[in-house]
Structure 1
Amino acid sequence: AGSGFNWLGWGAGYADIVKENKLFEHYYQELKIVPEGEFEQFMEAMREPLPATIRITGYKSHAKEILHTLKEKYFKEIQDLEVDGQKIEAPQALSWYPDELAWHTNMSRKILRKSPLLEKFHQAIPPNLLHILVILDMCAAPGSKTAQLIEMLHADMDVPFPEGFVIANDVDNKRCYLLVHQAKRLNSPCIMVVNHDASCMPRLLVEQNGKKDILFYDRVLCDVPCSGDGTMRKNIDVWKKWTTSNSLHLHGLQLRIAVRGVEQLAVGGRMVYSTCSLNPVEDEAVIASLLEKSEGALELVDASADLPGLKYMPGITSWKLMTKEGQWYSDWSEVPTSRHTQIRPTMFPPTDQEKLLSMKLERCMRILPHHQNTGGFFVAVLVKKAPMPWNRRQPKSCGDVFSEVTNHASPSGNPMDESGFGGCQEMLSVFAIHPGHCGHDLPCSSPPPSKKMKLFGFKEDPFVFLTEDDPVFPPIQAFYDLSPDFPKLNVLTRTHEGKKRHLYMVSKELRNVLLNNSERMKVINTGVKVWSRNNDGEQFGCAFRLAQEGIYTLYPYIRARVINISVEDVKILLTEENPFLSRLGDDAHAQAKKLEMGSIVLRYQPDPNDPSAPQCPIELCGWRGKTSIRAFVPRNERLHYLRMVGVEVFRDKQGKKEGGAAATQEGNTEGQEEPGQEAPCFQPELVPTA
């Protein structure tokens, strides 16, 4: 569920903005990040609209079905198109992206609007450099990279609770909800969205063998806030706003976030540091400073083999700084005292040439727009070989989800508090960073804020786990005949009082995190909804109906209320609002007649003898009425499944264009589809495509 296709690519906009910035050109010509003789090509590419790129989203088996549809139908249709005199070339698979799940085109977003065959996409290199275990995404919003991490986690759709999880963080509360929105499309019980300043991300505790230990992450994605000058092709306003001051102002924050990232990384773990900036002040300078102060604890690794076919420039080892007035500085010693608050020593390359060579900064990767018709990007992969020098002990390996650690210490040897705030000021001084504040309205060296202060302005409902003997379980257990291994303890609700309206599930690892950190973190959202209260169902034996977003998590435990359906049944259920039972095929009709009224699972199983039909299972939530049957599937997912079974949706009766499947960014709300209420009209004009 939640798979589909998205377009990456933003066409020209802001017609009044001139794509010219002399300071930008002068700066990057001097830095020589572009190979000799290619600067004009580089600038020409920067001025061109970014071409659209397709990434097929969602879990593997569904994504493969979408890919098949794209290759057999859409790609063939668009290759003969001509828009505004421009011939549309057939999309080509990105050689470095796994399983042909990303494709590039010669079309800009502007052209796509004139021939809207497909919608939008967001490309991300960093997740492909991370191999899923326990992951922290430090600056996650708006969420496309987080979504890729979740997809990788759920590569096998038959495993409802894969090992590992993703904690996605963002400092901006509103952006966190955008992150929730993206993550919800993937319906995973293994994602948690939290709201913290990444530079002072609190340490989390977990219970292991009867004792509490600090949680360290096997993987950290550190996609830091940046000046974004690599995005000029899509963010046109960067042309007029760009100045070298932007990078100088961001360097300190980027370094603090990166430091906090490696502190939370398990020994043996891997951190990917990335920016959408081409500026070495935000790129190599941060990596060099991390490596220098780690005293050998970190190693920059060559990750090019993980992205075969990706063209990139190696990291540079020499750079200088320029002020917005055009003044150049090659070394910290040249910087006048009056500028010491804006320019820091960590912004320059290390002066010790032997140390600089040992860092192997050439292992960093800088993607230039003109090499593969992309945006600009920087990425570096760091492996933690030993505890950081200001930490006394950290986990010995990243094999366990819950790594053992004791006596976490600051650079001076003073024990850190449980949330990792103690000694923070000393750590920052080691990195020549002004300590300031952590974003919690308290100095960095202070203990963790009280719950009252921490939760100021934070109004999320509580996460309340159900007990094994909760009275809500017996009727659910009996109605759906849940298997004995159903993990009751993983079920939670969002209220302490009154009737439970929705029931959610998380993995056992996230349950551990939630139970042991209610005072430490601001959780915006976690878990996947599996049941919703429906009072009409009480008369049939169960007051909770199945929720579509959690069906792939729940289905492996359900042994009753399942109707096996055909491809034709799927089409009927998703295009007719309330069809009579007799509209189903003979087999499905016979099964439905044997069931009492109430919530059901409608399951399509692939037929290997019919290659034209989807070759992956489809599970839909539905309701067996007195004489009719209906699917409770949100509109976006209906569109997705219809495409999978070969039905094209063009327009509804209101004349609105209906995009494909998960291409739209609307939420998967189900509230208006409760039995007994008026359901939204869904009567699209349909044209069979297979």
Structure 2
Amino acid sequence: MGRHRKKFQKKGERAERGHYKDIVRENENYKNYYKEQACFDVAELDLFIESMQQPLPAVFRITGYKKHAKQLLKNMKNTHFEEMTALTIQDELVKTPVALPWYPAQLAWQTDLNRTQIRKNPQLQKFHAFLIAETESGHISRQEAVSMIPPLLLDVKPHHKVLDMCAAPGSKTAQIVELLHQDDSTPIPGGICVANDKDNKRCYMLVHQINRLNSPSSIIVNHDAATFPDIYLKNSDGKERALQYDRVLCDVPCSGDGTLRKNTDVWVKWNIANSIYLHGIQLKILIRGLELLTNGGQLVYSTCSLNPIEDEAVVAAAMHKCGAAVELLKVELPGLKWSPGTTSWRVMDKMQNWYEKYEDLPDTVKNIVKTMFPPEDKDEVRNMHLERCLRLLPHQQDTGGFFVAVLRKVSNLPWQKVISEEELNGSPKQPPKKKRKWVPGFKEDPFVFFGDEEQGIIDEVKSFYGLSDNFPHQQLMCRTKTGKKRHIYFVSELVRNIVVNNEESLKVINTGVRVLSRADNTQAGVKCAFRLVHDGSESMEQFMSERLVKITIEDAIALLSEEQPKFEQLTEVLQKKLLNLDPGSLMFKYVPPNPEADVECDLLMCGWKGGRSARLYMCRNERMHFLHMVGQPVPEYLLPNKSSRRSRAEANAQGNNGVGKEETEEKSEMSNASEDVVNNPDVVEEKVVLENDATV
């Protein structure tokens, strides 16, 4: 698909349109609405508005399931936080980041700086580069604090089947995937995260977010959440059963009137019409989520709106329809401050007229429906315990505004029939699957799982890497039906079951972790056409008995510090191991020699053994991450923005024969690699993509 041409902009046009910084952060209608609605203590209203007018502080969290989390946290404190202790910006002392008190294990941190200050201040260049590299390599996520709360309240376990109904852009989805992987002893969890979004283009934001985590247990799909299709699994006896989810996240589309601190245009655009329009959509999504939830499962409903029409009204309407089948849970998150949900509210129309109940509406008002009002039965409202909902206000803990409710499905919904034991175990009397409706968007390549035609590749890979007999090769797949297999992906057994048995009804955008890539090499004596890929190292390592080379921390530092160290630069023990290996791809593994070691966690790094040297195969940001892990400085050429267009232009202006620094280094690296190392265009391609992302 071709790129769209940039729209021509006349000189001075931007100034006429205005800019975010020119927006006046005031809206009397917004302030008066919440004063009259009184869904929180109106005595706090001025403090609430004052907080909304301030920029949002930068917040980030360390990926919790990664084995590297504890080490990364220790190094971050000792290096970057120490350097910030005496730092001043505009004559003001910068506060060291503080851990969010309600997030487990000190894995989430808040600064008193906004993103612009971190990005533009030269004194914070190293910290900024650290955040970029760790974000791109999947070890840190930069995410708004209140956005982290819904996945925590889901209480996800590794065996859970989780549905994220409106997942893009994917920060909450990433948390769910992390929680699935929280048990280090099982690299391939039994559960799954099904991440869905209605917008096809936004699905590719999800792909970027989830691919950073290298999980074989996630799948991204493209459907309308309000009519999300049933997914069927096939049992070992060939019978099908509908998939029900242990956990469902409904982070629904909303007016976003709690996001004024980061989305300043909401100050200008806010009006009640958005909430009125979205209420029905939100209710449909919540009802569908409850239908898909298994009995005893939990659903989290959340919005970044503070309006009861989008919050308590939606929850109450769903509970009224579901009766005793659904209950609101009382939640505990120590250290988190919030206001309780309101049990009474009014509805305002577009003309700013207030109504206490549905019967008060004049015939001229058409867009307001009964479900926007509290249920008429006061005892029913009391029994709903709407006060258990969480309304998070910006002045309480220096965050954005947010709403969260946690529901549990006690039994089948009134309109859901009781499933017999025969049906539960896969009765052949299942209703026919609905073919998916055509949805505009990019056409995806096929998902082709390995079978008899790929037996030659399977045998070659298993022999070269010494893969165990229980290696599930049937869970390998590629994205082409014809021609050479360039990339090979790995998925969990459950993901394979879903993809294979729902081809006609489920629009899959992406799944799997890349474990192998074709090595188009110039080196003689290479016995396997496929090299290991760093993304899939954790998935593959547990099955390997050959070409898994243990190294010391000294070897790890040598491999990370140079692009292509000679054998004599490595320890004698490693030299002997390499001399006994055929040339080609391998995996290096560092294991801490004792609990007191400076680097306390295992390190897995994919590489290549040549004739006289070895090297690592990883992108720039991964290399930076591992350098952070072993406490080594990052070379200048790896830092972000050093290979930007401006840098290349400057290099050209200095008479570099028309070749920028990036191109010079790349040519040098590839010519040096031609003797000993695979000359693989994929690595160059990965570098370019990641550098573009990092520069942005």
SS of the equivalent of 2:43 reads coil
Instruction: Tell me, in whole angstroms, the C-alpha distance in 2 between the residues paired with 1:180 and 1:58.
Output: 20
What is the CA deviation profile of residues 466-504 of structure 1, one whole-angstrom value per residue up to 9, with x for unaligned ones? 126722111111111111111111111112212221111
1:610 is displaced (CA, Å) by: 4.5
Q: What's the counterpart of residue 161 of structure 1?
A: 188
- C-alpha change, 1:284 and 1:403, in structure 2 (3 Å) is farther
- C-alpha change, 1:652 and 1:209, in structure 2 (3 Å) is closer
Q: How does 1:65-84 map to 2 (within 5 A)?
A: 65-84=71-90
Q: What's the counterpart of residue 459 of structure 1?
A: 443
Calculate the TM-score normalised by the size of structure 1.
0.85
What is the CA deviation profile of residues 265-285 of structure 1, one whole-angstrom value per residue up to 9, with x for unaligned ones? 001110000000000001000
Q: How does 1:34-73 map to 2 (within 5 A)?
A: 34-57=40-63, 59-73=65-79
Instruction: Tell me, in whole angstroms, the C-alpha distance in 2 between the residues paired with 1:158 and 1:365.
Output: 35
Aligned residue type for 1:580: K
Alignment match of 2:340 (pick from 300, 314, 327)? 314
In the alignment, structure 1 residue 572 sits paired with structure 2 residue 572? no
Query: Retained in 2: the 8 A contact 1:394–1:406?
Result: no
Alignment match of 1:139 (pick from 166, 173, 197)? 166
Higher mean alpha-carbon deviation, 64-73 vs 375-384, is at 64-73
1:336 is displaced (CA, Å) by: 2.0
Number of residues paired by the alignment?
612
Instruction: Tell me, in whole angstroms, the C-alpha distance in 1 between the residues paired with 2:488 and 2:526.
Output: 19
What is the CA deviation profile of residues 421-460 of structure 1, one whole-angstrom value per residue up to 9, with x for unaligned ones? xxxxxxxxxxxxxxxxxxxxxxxxxxx34x6x53665511
Instruction: Tell me, in whole angstroms, the C-alpha distance in 1 between the residues paired with 2:35 and 2:115.
Output: 29
Instruction: Tell me, in whole angstroms, the C-alpha distance in 1 between the residues paired with 2:618 and 2:205.
Output: 22
Q: What's the counterpart of residue 590 of structure 2?
A: 604
Query: Retained in 2: the 8 A contact 1:266–1:394?
Result: no
- C-alpha change, 1:299 and 1:576, in structure 2 (3 Å) is same
Instruction: Tell me, in whole angstroms, the C-alpha distance in 1 between the residues paired with 2:320 and 2:428.
Output: 24
Q: How does 1:520-539 map to 2 (within 5 A)?
A: 520-536=505-521, 539=525
Query: Retained in 2: the 8 A contact 1:650–1:658?
Result: no
Where is the helix percentage greater, Structure 1 or Structure 2? Answer: 2
In the alignment, structure 1 residue 546 sits paired with structure 2 residue 527? no
Q: What's the counterpart of residue 28 of structure 2?
A: 22
Q: What's the counterpart of residue 152 of structure 2?
A: 128
Alignment match of 1:271 (pick from 275, 299, 315)? 299
Instruction: Tell me, in whole angstroms, the C-alpha distance in 2 between the residues paired with 1:500 and 1:358.
Output: 59
Instruction: Tell me, in whole angstroms, the C-alpha distance in 1 between the residues paired with 2:21 and 2:426.
Output: 56
Aligned residue type for 2:112: N
Higher mean alpha-carbon deviation, 615-624 vs 54-63, is at 54-63
Q: What's the counterpart of residue 348 of structure 1?
A: 373
Q: How does 1:293-372 map to 2 (within 5 A)?
A: 293-303=321-331, 305=332, 307-340=333-366, 342-372=367-397
Higher mean alpha-carbon deviation, 496-505 vs 646-655, is at 646-655
Aligned residue type for 2:149: I
Instruction: Tell me, in whole angstroms, the C-alpha distance in 2 between the residues paired with 1:74 and 1:395.
Output: 59
Q: What's the counterpart of residue 172 of structure 1?
A: 199
Aligned residue type for 1:164: G
Aligned residue type for 2:451: T
Q: What's the counterpart of residue 113 of structure 2?
A: 107
Query: Retained in 2: the 8 A contact 1:266–1:403?
Result: no
In the alignment, structure 1 residue 254 sits paired with structure 2 residue 282? yes
| Structure 2 residues not aligned, in runs of 5+ | 1-18, 132-140, 645-669, 688-696
1:639 is displaced (CA, Å) by: 1.0
In the alignment, structure 1 residue 217 sits paired with structure 2 residue 245? yes
Aligned residue type for 1:523: V
What is the CA deviation profile of residues 490-529 of structure 1, one whole-angstrom value per residue up to 9, with x for unaligned ones? 1111122122211111111111111110011110011111
The CA RMSD over aligned residues, in Å, is 2.4
1:582 is displaced (CA, Å) by: 1.6
Query: Retained in 1: the 8 A contact 2:51–2:394?
Result: yes
SS of the equivalent of 2:70 reads helix
Q: What's the counterpart of residue 5 of structure 1?
A: none
Instruction: Tell me, in whole angstroms, the C-alpha distance in 2 between the residues paired with 1:404 and 1:109.
Output: 52
- C-alpha change, 1:516 and 1:126, in structure 2 (3 Å) is same
- C-alpha change, 1:538 and 1:236, in structure 2 (3 Å) is farther
SS of the equivalent of 2:26 reads coil
Aligned residue type for 1:465: F
1:171 is displaced (CA, Å) by: 0.7
The sequence identity of aligned pairs, in percent, is 45
1:464 is displaced (CA, Å) by: 1.3
Query: Retained in 1: the 8 A contact 2:342–2:386?
Result: yes
Query: Retained in 2: the 8 A contact 1:392–1:407?
Result: no
1:205 is displaced (CA, Å) by: 0.3
Q: What's the counterpart of residue 676 of structure 1?
A: 679
Q: What's the counterpart of residue 103 of structure 2?
A: 97
- C-alpha change, 1:224 and 1:286, in structure 2 (3 Å) is same
Q: How does 1:187-206 map to 2 (within 5 A)?
A: 187-206=214-233
Instruction: Tell me, in whole angstroms, the C-alpha distance in 1 between the residues paired with 2:420 and 2:265.
Output: 45
Query: Retained in 1: the 8 A contact 2:525–2:583?
Result: no
1:358 is displaced (CA, Å) by: 0.7
Instruction: Tell me, in whole angstroms, the C-alpha distance in 1 between the residues paired with 2:277 and 2:428.
Output: 34
Query: Retained in 2: the 8 A contact 1:314–1:366?
Result: yes
| Structure 1 residues not aligned, in runs of 5+ | 1-12, 397-401, 409-415, 420-447, 660-671, 683-690
1:535 is displaced (CA, Å) by: 3.9
